[in-house]
Structure 1
Amino acid sequence: MAERSARERIVEAAFDLFAERGYDATTVEDIAARAGVGRTTFFRQFRSKEHVVFPDHEQLLTAIGARLATATPRTAIVGVSEAAGLVLQHYLDEGERARRRYRLTRSVPALQERERSGIRQYEQTFTRHIHGWLGGEPESLLRAELIANAVVTAHNHVLRAWLRGQLATATEARRAFRAAMAEVESHVDVPGREGAPAEALPAVLVLRDASDLDRLLPQIRDLLA
């Protein structure tokens, strides 16, 4: 088995210490010592212990923006669903660590506020792209905000159910997510509804390596089912 990176050791050490001592009682020095690294190494990887809790937020925002940037008004329904699905899949891939983060944030007000700030950034990213698809006029901004809020709310509803164990498997979570997105489409006038249905849209799958295929095959089977 390959040796874990310093970044991975820091994250594991932090979550272990937060569970043992509490978030506020755990210092950066404690985390670095448990991970077997120095303060300098810690700060090369993370700006603060808060950023250890939410290490991939910026990357996820970038991924969402990149997916939305490839959509058009005609394919908006598919674009927003797949962009939100990227976030869900990230948490599913994290597995138990995502659930540990959820339990931690529920008990630390500062982390709850950080989480709310992250959700607002997701909503703003969706709003910006949806508003552009609607023509970018001031009178369409409210509609864009309503659609973005509906998408993020539906995503968070499914994610929380999985984090709480109400959805036992990743497969159940992905199915619930598709149902939630369908619910959004049935209640909100999402751009692209007047275009071709999602089932008729062609798809191109680009893989970096074979490990990506191993991860995606269960999702492909779900979709075919």
Structure 2
Amino acid sequence: MSKPAARIRLAEAAFALFDERGYEQTTVEDIAERAGVGRTTFFRHYRSKEAVIFPNHDRLLALIGDRLATSSHSTALVAVSDAVRLVLLHYIDEGDLARRRYVLTSKVATLRDREIASVARYQRLFREFISDWMGDPTESASLRAELMAASVVAAHNHVLRRWLRGESTDPVGEVDDAMQEVLALFPVPGPPPEPGGGTTVVAFRTGQDIDALLPALRRLVEGGGTS
């Protein structure tokens, strides 16, 4: 069997040392030595000790951006759902490494802060895309885009945490369902009615019996008049 790539060996060595000694007590030199490579090789693959822990967010953000860029106005929300699924699948492909990261970041405050900052980058990307899709420069539209982007990220993270804790056997199905819930909160506005077209129904309360009102209402509907 061939030897695992240096990048994989470095990640495995890092997490093993974090478990044994703790994150703060582990150095880059320790990780490189455990992986059987030199310090130069470590920095060829990772910029820092922190970078070993987290996925390549730049690459993930680029993948999301590419997926969103291929959408049209009518398929924008489908693209958002697909982009969310891409991120989830990346974590699922990482398997045990993703779960070990989850445990570690829950214990180390500096890593948790780094993770929060990463989440903000995803939310900003979705917010900018949704804002462009809406094409409305008003403050209310800007708020709507912000709320929608936050909901998209929250839905993904909810499902991801369930999978990381071993509570979900079908995370992809769950994230698809979650995105349907999110999009239902933000229905796409329909086109404005044409001037003079359509039917307007006004409801009001009266003391008259419904049977007495029906003939008059029927005449109004059939004649298209108002009174």
Shorter-chain TM band? 0.7 to 0.9
C-alpha distance in 2, partners of 1:142/1:2?
53
96 and 194 in structure 1: CA distance in 2 versus 1, 3 angstrom threshold = farther
**Superposition RMSD on alpha carbons, in Å?**
1.5
Residues 28 and 39, structure 1, Cα contact 8 Å, conserved in 2 = yes
* Alpha-carbon shift at residue 138 of structure 1 (Å): 4.1
C-alpha distance in 2, partners of 1:54/1:138?
37
Partner of 1:132: 132
1:120 equivalent to 2:113? Answer no
C-alpha distance in 1, partners of 2:4/2:136?
47
Cα distance per residue 1:6-34 (max 9 Å; x no partner)? 11111110011111111111000100000
194 and 20 in structure 1: CA distance in 2 versus 1, 3 angstrom threshold = farther
TM-score with structure 1 setting the length: 0.81
C-alpha distance in 2, partners of 1:102/1:50?
14
Partner of 1:159: 160
Question: How many pairs are equivalent?
Answer: 190
Partner of 2:181: 183
C-alpha distance in 1, partners of 2:157/2:34?
33
* Structure 1 runs of 4+ with >2 Å offset: none
Residues 74 and 194, structure 1, Cα contact 8 Å, conserved in 2 = no
Partner of 1:102: 102
AA matched with 1:137:
P
Higher relative contact order at CA 8 Å, sep ≥6: structure 1 or structure 2? Answer: 1
TM-score with structure 2 setting the length: 0.80
AA matched with 2:154:
T
96-105 or 133-142: which moved more? 133-142
Gaps of 5+ in 1: 196-225
1:144 equivalent to 2:145? Answer yes
Partner of 2:50: 50
Q: Which has the larger radius of gyration?
A: 2
